[in-house]
Amino acid sequence: MAIDEKMLEQILNKYPAKVKRNRKKHIVIRDIEKGAQEIEANTRTIPGIITNRGCAFAGCKGVVVGPLKDMVHIVHGPVGCAYYSWGTRRNKAKSENPKENFLNYCFSTDMQESDIVFGGEKKLAKMIDEVVEIFHPKAISVSATCPVGLIGDDLVAVAKAAEKRHGIQVLAFNCEGYKGVSQSAGHHIANNILMEKVIGAGNLEEAPSKYSINILGEYNIGGDSWEIERVLKDIGYHVVTVMTGDGSYEELKNAHIAELNLVQCHRSINYIAEMLEIKYGTPWLKVNFIGIENTIKSLRNMAQYFGDPELIQKTEEVIARETARIEPVMAQYKKICEGKTAFCFVGGSRGHHYQGLFAELGVETILAGYEFAHRDDYEGRDIIPEIKSDADSKNIPDLHVTPDQRRYRLKISDEKMAELKKRIPLGNYKGMISDMKDGHVIVDDLNHFETEEFIKILKPDIFASGIKDKYVVQKMGIPSKQLHSYDYSGPYAGFNGAVKFAEDISMAFTSPTWNFITPPWKNKPLLDGKIVDEEAS
């Protein structure tokens, strides 16, 4: 069943008038005849609405900085904040030296009421000293939480003093949860500090391989990065660093030597991709390694960028080998999945990336959206000049970089760059909306109420969700595939990941559990009511 403007109006009419006007801007029904369609994004969630968003701290420490395995990551704040960003994202990492992999640990200053009253700087300094004495890390990060910003602890001063005492880099991230409107602000803060303090600090001047690349915006959830790297290394690429899944502080320092940057999650990492191009001359290519066809397309685009006939041939050989191996398996799962429909509301890239993989299984994505996207994630980067900066955006200063006088060099000529941009997404991302079909729904910052209403009308067969909303959806009788951390599964990227995803989705559809659940909308509600508009009354 499709949804039209009249049905959407009926949903929105249950809001107070002011809330309705706000939310209507965040919902678009795809109409290809209209051409470009605008959607509101990266604005504050309305107070009182149950959103799926996270905070700036979660975006900084939990997403971008936290997966760096050879650093100790200290959370300065209550222990609950530390727990939220530890072990919940399933950023897998392995190291030749187990003593240099700290991801299994949770470090927190565990601020108490007395610390809020008298300040927590001394407690933080003491913890840094203890960490260095016990673990001997190569570097330390300190991430601020909401109470720290409210009481005014000076993280930067504590970090500088610790650097002098111990002779290692101590990075201070003022990423208090309330900064910005979502975790997107934390991504920006993390990008700025890592670019300013870490990237380029390495001693390497030349790439060790002809095809040296960085993978940006890949966080190795469930082992995704390992599957991507398996294929890339088989073709002949040298991965300098992954930012930041299974990532290394030492490798990140030499990110400047790569010949090409691959951008997987555009939202979380586009700032660094742009700065690397300005400072070192390294172009970035938008890739998507979720789904067979998207993986193939990304691999071919990479080969086109380098333009080496041998590399192109090797790419085709690997593609042929991998597809021949997995296509018969995928065909079996497709028999189970064909004809089903999905909602795909996940993160800052997955809501778009997974639509292709769903389609390969015969599952149509009829509603999609992001929790913390900006307009360009929906509409494409061409509209960036049209986006007006508001007060919340100005809370996060842009880091303005200039070409490095010693290390900047053009990786390809301007003529070749212009020619390649006509064929591959070099330095560009077209956004989600352009790939949505007529009548499909795009929702920014989908909330609890809208989730239930859209499910009642569209009745999807599966809901690709996050951590917070999956249980509500399952109680409504809809299988939920958690795509933030994959629950206990993965990888889902690349060729092997597509097979694993197909297996898990098929299990969700064939589980007998759903036969024993009666969705609440099938029964008459015990209580009817409506929200009264205070302005009207």
Query: What whole-number distance in Å separates Cα of residue 16 and Cα of residue 530?
Result: 10
The Cα angle at residue 496 between residues 298 and 221, in degrees rounded to 5: 80
Query: What whole-number distance in Å separates Cα of residue 36 and Cα of residue 26?
Result: 15
- The encoded tokens of residue 111 equal 């601020």
Q: Which residues contact 418 (CB under 8 A, 6 or more apart)?
A: none
Q: Which of 187, 256, 374, 440 is catalytic?
A: 187
**Would you give the DSSP letter of residue 45?**
P
Q: Which whole-number Å values give the CA distances from 276 to 185, 200, 238, 258, 302, in the listed order?
A: 19, 10, 18, 10, 18
Residue 58 catalytic? Answer: yes
Q: Which of 56, 58, 139, 159 is catalytic?
A: 58
Q: Which of 26, 53, 73, 89 is catalytic?
A: 89
Query: What whole-number distance in Å separates Cα of residue 185 and Cα of residue 191?
Result: 10
Three-class SS of 72-88: EEEEECCHHHHHHCCCC
**Torsion sign over Cα 453, 454, 458, 460:** negative
Query: What whole-number distance in Å separates Cα of residue 21 and Cα of residue 37?
Result: 17
Query: What whole-number distance in Å separates Cα of residue 463 and Cα of residue 481?
Result: 6
Q: Are 508 and 490 in contact (CB under 8 A)?
A: no
Q: Which whole-number Å values give the CA distances from 436 to 36, 92, 106, 351, 352, in the listed order?
A: 12, 32, 41, 11, 9
Q: Residue 442 pairs with which residues in a beta bridge? A: 28, 368
Q: Which residues contact 504 (CB under 8 A, 6 or more apart)?
A: 481, 489
Residue 187 catalytic? Answer: yes
Query: What whole-number distance in Å separates Cα of residue 537 and Cα of residue 528?
Result: 20
Q: Which residues contact 342 (CB under 8 A, 6 or more apart)?
A: 358, 363, 364, 365, 366, 460, 461, 462, 463, 464
Residue 55 catalytic? Answer: yes
Q: Which of 41, 55, 144, 508 is catalytic?
A: 55
Where does 44-105 show beta strands of DSSP type E?
Answer: 71-76
Instruction: List, by residue number, the catalytic residues.
Output: 55, 58, 89, 187
